[in-house]
Amino acid sequence: MTDQTKPRSLAAIAYDIRKTWTKPYFGAAPYIDAMGNLSDIHDMYFHDTGESVVRYFLANAKTWRGDDAKRIKAELKLIAKVK
């Protein structure tokens, strides 16, 4: 993703997570579902912002490992500007 390209939707990212992380940690699962209903970090999921959903997912996805996990987590961190 460069400055010229628009980030993928959170729903598209959630689809990739479900496809590659077949048995997610129970604490991450609700945030994957929430991201599946969002376009970007400015959308709301009930009372949570898309940004907070992404941050909660990242906090609960520590056990997800591998190349797909690294790539997708890096993408989410970039979108949410997480250090």
Average pLDDT over residues 29-48: 97
Supply the pTM of this predicted model: 0.90
CA distance 5 to 66: 25
Per residue in 2-27, pLDDT (tens digit) is 456 788 999 999 999 999 999 999 99
Note whether 53 and 76 are within 8 A (CB).
no
Note whether 78 and 1 are within 8 A (CB).
yes
What's residue 1's pLDDT?
53
Average pLDDT over residues 39-45: 96
Average pLDDT over residues 62-78: 97
